[in-house]
């Protein structure tokens, strides 16, 4: 019997209205940030989404995480339709999926100490006593290559790479079934990028994630199923899945469709 995918996204759409007027706001247009994206992720699998800047990768990731409510389409996570769930249902689902954000400078609350940032989800979901949470957070800091003594530091006391490690530790804290990484290394320099990617790769054996790499072939490696959201032929050639027959998405963003048409006629630079 075929195993049900962990995450299924069908015809996902997210449109942002463009309005005019201050008191009586009138919609004069729409930014179609995500338009008809479909894909699925199995348990233990990593899906990489590649695309040019502004093609809708972060918006798609936020919709999957239900940080944004989709305009259309359907998201099924672990057998449950989460497209429009709210309240307690959404709260329960949030424990199962976590996100590593694109910007390590903006994604950590500057007023909170690292221990509190990493342990927040554990506290919110009541996953242990204060002492247990502290021990768990210190273990996590060690797992991601930081010093457990960094527990009481503030985010500004860390470098960009260290901050992103804090973001990874936060995402791992509740042992989620799905981790969405939104270009987790795009704001970092090359040597630190390698450290974070190696860390994610090491953690891949226990985690499941959608990774949104920057559009570079070298990062789209084995064990990562990659499809272009809007990118060059070089990235679509990097489609190298953990399973033998990759399933390209049924749809994608508007730019991706254009890119696929273009890539069918162009030669790969890879
Ligand atoms: N809140 C919003 N209101 C209006 N338009 C938005 C909003 N958020 C994103 N957009 C638009 O949606 C499009 C997709 O943005 P998104 O941030 O998802 O791109 P991206 O693929 O992640 O880009 P990058 O690689 O630079 O991070 C962009 O054109 C952006 O201007
Ligand atoms: Mg983005």
What percentage of the chain exceeds 90 in pLDDT? 36
Shortest CA distance to 200 belongs to which of 174, 223, 230?
A: 223
* Ligand 2 center from residue 148 Cα (angstroms): 30
3-state DSSP helix/strand/coil % of the chain, to nearest 5: 35, 25, 40
pLDDT (0 to 100) of residue 154: 94
Q: How far is the CA of 55 from the centre of ligand 2 (A)?
A: 8
Q: What's the pLDDT band for 255 if we cut at 50, 70, 90?
A: low
Taking all residues of the chain, what is their mean pLDDT, rounded to a whole number?
Answer: 77
Query: Distance (Å, rounded) from C-alpha 202 to C-alpha 179?
Result: 14
16 lines ligand 1 (CB under 6 A): yes
Where do the DSSP E strands lie in 142-259? Answer: 178-182, 209-212, 224-230
Rounded-to-integer distance, Cα 263 and Cα 119, Å:
45
Q: Rounded distance, CA 252 to CA 270, Å?
A: 23
pLDDT at 5 over 80: yes
Q: Which atom of ligand 1 is nearest to the CA of 18?
A: 4
Exposure of 160 by Cβ count < 10 A (0-12 exposed, 13-18 middle, 19+ buried)? middle
Q: What pLDDT sits at residue 90?
A: 92
Atom of ligand 1 at shortest distance to CA of 14? 12
pLDDT tens per residue, range 62-98: 999 999 999 999 999 999 999 999 999 999 998 899 9
Question: Measuring CA to CA, how many Å separate 225 from each of 2, 48, 103, 228?
Answer: 19, 6, 24, 10
The number of the ligand 1 atom at minimal distance from the alpha carbon of 229 is 21
Q: By C-alpha distance, which of 33, 70, 29 is closest to 51?
A: 33
């Amino acid at each position: 019997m075929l195993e049900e995918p962990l995450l299924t996204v069908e015809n996902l759409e997210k449109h942002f209205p463009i309005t005019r007027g201050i008191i009586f706001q009138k919609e004069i247009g729409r930014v179609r940030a995500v338009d008809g994206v479909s894909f699925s992720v199995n348990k233990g699998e990593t899906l990489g989404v590649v695309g040019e800047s502004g093609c809708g990768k972060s918006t798609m990731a936020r919709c999957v995480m239900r940080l944004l409510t989709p305009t259309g389409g359907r998201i099924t996570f672990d057998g449950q339709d989460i497209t429009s769930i709210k309240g307690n249902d959404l709260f329960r689902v949030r424990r199962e999926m976590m996100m590593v954000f694109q910007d390590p400078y903006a994604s950590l609350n500057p007023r909170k100490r690292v221990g509190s940032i990493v342990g927040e989800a554990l506290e919110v979901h009541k996953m242990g006593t204060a002492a247990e949470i502290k021990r768990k957070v210190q273990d996590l800091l060690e797992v991601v290559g930081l010093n457990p003594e960094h527990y009481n530091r503030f985010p500004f006391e860390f470098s960009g790479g260290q901050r992103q490690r804090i973001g990874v530790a936060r995402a791992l804290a509740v042992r989620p079934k799905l981790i969405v990484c939104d270009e987790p290394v795009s704001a970092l320099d090359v040597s630190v990028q390698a450290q974070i990617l190696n860390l994610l790769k090491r953690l891949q054996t226990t985690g499941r994630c959608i990774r949104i790499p920057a559009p570079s072939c070298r990062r789209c490696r084995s064990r990562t199923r990659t499809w272009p959201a809007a990118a060059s032929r070089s990235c679509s050639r990097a489609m190298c899945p953990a399973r033998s027959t990759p399933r390209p998405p049924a749809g994608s963003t508007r730019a991706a469709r254009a890119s696929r048409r273009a890539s069918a006629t162009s030669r790969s630079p890879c």
